[in-house]
């Protein structure tokens, strides 16, 4: 059986050709914290917050969280 070939981007990341700069994790973490804080502040504000604003923050938080986890895993992989 043939195995599916990985995309060129994934192969270049695995081989170390394309590496995220060190500041990427810090930037993603900062934006992620700001988005979480904004969501908490909207939820605790007087009155009902707009559901659209909370949904927008959820849409922003999910990919940032995924990218942050990937960056952290790559950093730990580089240490080993």
Which residue shows structure tokens 């940032």? 64
Mean pLDDT estimate for the chain: 74
Q: What percent of the chain lies above the pLDDT cut of 90?
A: 0
2 vs 37 pLDDT, higher one? 37
pLDDT band for 1, please (50, 70, 90 cuts). Answer: very low
- Which pair of structure tokens corresponds to residue 1? 């059986």
35 to 9, 12, 26, 32: CA distances (angstroms): 29, 31, 14, 5
Contact 35, 57 (CB under 8 A): yes
């Amino acid at each position: 059986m043939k195995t599916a070939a990985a995309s060129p981007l994934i192969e270049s990341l695995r081989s170390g050709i394309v590496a995220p700069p060190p500041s990427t994790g810090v930037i993603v973490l900062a934006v992620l914290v700001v988005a979480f804080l904004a969501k908490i502040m909207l939820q605790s504000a007087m009155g009902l917050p707009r559901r659209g604003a909370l949904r927008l923050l959820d849409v922003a938080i999910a990919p940032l969280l995924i990218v942050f986890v990937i960056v952290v895993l790559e950093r730990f992989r580089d240490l080993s």
